[in-house]
Copies of this chain bind each other. A is one copy, B any other.
Amino acid sequence: MKYLFTFSLLLVFVIGYGQKEKDPTATEIWDPKPEIVTPGASMVEPPSDAIVLFDGSSLDSWTHMDGSPVKWKLEDGAMTVVKSTGDIKTRESFEDVQLHVEWCTPAEVSSKDQGRGNSGVWLQERYEVQILDSYNNQTYVNGQAGSIYKQHPPLVNACKGPGEWQSYDIIYQAPRFNEKGRLLIPARVTVLHNGVLIQNHIEIWGPVEYRGLPQYKKHGPASIRLQDHGNPVSFRNIWVRRL
């Protein structure tokens, strides 16, 4: 009977406890385990799961838009736009990504407005994060550095000076379309410019459009594209992680 009594007490405790306090293990999730990624030694170095698109040694991950070898200049660990050679794009195609790009506009300022250090990072070949020397440079704000070109101005102007290396850390969500080509979920982008938030999961209105409103057209995975806008903008340390 002694045991019976003990058991009964225990039973009452177990049941009574259950009524008062929820079991914390009920809201634990144990699987699947998130993949292990070794981060870079600093925030700008590629983590272990990144695809290195440019590390200063070769232009092999890129072609011009027609598939021809890149005619931009490779020097001192950087690649630099050569005027009129045209845009370049990655050989690989991407959808949702985290992208790190470093860029530098010419140290010598010889023009102004949109003519000063103009280039751009085109996500999926269509959606442009503008590159411009926006250090003491007046232009339309949805065309300055860090703008989604002709759409969203950056939240702040975090531009460094001409000749200084700068970084974009981009988190990009690709748009989704239905079978007929109708847009169901627009593209979104977050951008840190030199570590400063300048676009916060902003909705992209459509492909970059110089005239008129942008309009989505259905597409699949596509390259990352860098623009030749006629200014010798340099690039280095480009890596991307597929999300």
Residues of A with Cβ closer than 8 Å to B? 1, 3-4, 7-8, 10-11, 14-15, 18, 21-40, 42-45, 47, 49, 95-96, 98, 140-144, 150, 153-158, 160, 167, 169, 171, 173, 176, 178, 182, 184-186, 188, 190, 192-198, 200-201, 203, 205, 209-213, 215, 241-243
Q: Is there an interface contact between A241 and B34, defined as CB atoms closer than 8 Å?
A: no
Taken together as a complex, chains A and B put the C-alpha atoms of A156 and B144 apart, in Å, by 34
Say yes or no: A141-B184 contact (C-beta < 8 A), given A35-B157, A155-B34.
no
Q: Specify which chain B residues have a CB less than 8 angstroms from the CB of A15 in the assembled complex.
A: 14
**Please, how many angstroms separate the alpha-carbon atoms of A184 and B169 in the complex?**
19
Given contacts A26-B23, A190-B190, A197-B241, A156 and B34 within 8 Å (CB-CB): yes
Inter-chain CA distance A4–B7, complex, in Å, is 8
Cβ-defined contact, B7 with A96, below 8 A:
no
Asked if A213 meets B44 with Cβ closer than 8 Å, knowing A11-B14, A171-B197, A200-B243, the reply is no
- CB neighbours of A47 from chain B (8 A): 158, 194-196
Which chain B residues border A24 with CB–CB below 8 Å? 210-211
Which residues of B have CB within 8 Å of A178?
Answer: 95-96, 242-243
Residues of B within 8 A of A25 (CB): 22
Instruction: Specify which chain B residues have a CB less than 8 angstroms from the CB of A155 in the assembled complex.
Output: 34, 182, 243
A163 to chain B, nearest CB (A): 15
Asked if B43 contacts A211 (CB within 8 A), the reply is no
Residue ID in chain B nearest A7 by CB atoms: B7
A142 touches B213 (CB 8 A): yes
Q: A18 vs B11: C-alpha distance in the bound complex, in angstroms? A: 13
Complex partner residue of A141 from B31, B193, B212, CB under 8 angstroms: B31
Residues of chain B within 8 A of A34, CB atoms compared: 141, 144, 153-157, 198
